Amino acid sequence: MEASSTSGLQGDHPSRTICVLGMHRSGTSCLTGSLQEAGLQLGDCHTWNPFNLKGNRENQAFVDLHDAILEANGGSWDHPPANVQWSERHLAMGRELVAAHSHLPVMGFKDPRTLLVLEGWQQLEPKMEFVGIFRHPNAVAASLARRSKMKRKEALRLWYEYNKRLLNAFRRTPFPVLCFDASEQEFQQHLAGVIKTLELQPAEVGENFYDGDLKNFDHQSSGRLPLKVGYLYKRLKAICV
């Protein structure tokens, strides 16, 4: 991936915009926080919540916009619409959000809902760069059961809907994709490669956003996967770095 220069700004846009893509409870916060340590600038983002003690690193303005778009299309984060259209008002709100961060040389944002509304962002920011992450369906289902009291069947359905969109986005324009099921050592090695690809700066020695103590579920969680869910997981494993 050829990254554009980080020097100078382009009118009401940051020089670069990097978006983290991934399903809820799939390591997106860990990846985003790690990229933030490497120089990705997130603006005003959440740095703590009860289910993520280091914060989900989400900018609430982006989350609110995505929720509004989903609601206007008859859906929500846990009931993804089959098709999503951005209204002119939503496009204007997106432009305003980007313009509000135009002073940042390398702007980043993360919200799992982005996968459900991605086409609008690609229309607004054709040069937007992406990095993705995924996690085993069983681990995601266990985490959603704890956080949202979500039943396993519903969680697996949701995992499929989000990660189907992740794979489709990769097929359109390939970008780095990490697997959160990797060991800490493997994850850090692959993360270092992604940081280099994105032309960010490695974090200072001793700084490490990854915290294994906060990773409460693994892919060994019990339960046989539906055929299409297991197949999609294998397809994602085949494209990850």
CATH code of the domain covering residue 35: 3.40.50.300
Q: How many CB atoms lie within 10 A of CB 104?
A: 18
Contact 20, 101 (CB under 8 A): no
Q: What is the pLDDT of residue 220?
A: 58
Residue 6 counted as domain residue: no
pLDDT of residue 206: 54
Q: Considering all CA atoms of the chain, what is the largest pairwise distance in Å, rounded to the nearest integer?
A: 52
- Is residue 7 situated within a structural domain? no
Contact 227, 137 (CB under 8 A): no
DSSP state of 183: -
Give the pLDDT of residue 1: 37
Strand partners, 28: none
**Is position 3 within any domain?**
no
Q: Could you tell me the pTM of the whole model?
A: 0.88
pLDDT of residue 204: 65
Question: Is there a domain that residue 151 lies in?
Answer: yes
On whether residue 81 sits in a domain, the answer given is yes
The pair of structure tokens assigned to 137 is 């369906």
Does residue 48 belong to any structural domain of this protein? yes
Average pLDDT, the chain: 87
Cα–Cα distance for residue pair 65/43, rounded to 1 Å: 16
| Residues of the chain scoring pLDDT < 70 | 1-11, 45-56, 203-207, 210-222
| Beta-bridge mates of residue 10 | 13
Query: How many domains, in total, are found in the chain?
Result: 1
Element (H, E) at 116: none
Residue 44 has which token pair?
């005003």
The helix or strand, by DSSP H or E, that contains position 28, with its residue range, turns out to be helix 28-37
Domain interval for residue 62: 16-239
Give the separation between CA 132 and CA 235, rounded to whole angstroms.
14
Q: Within a domain: residue 86?
A: yes
11 lies in some domain: no
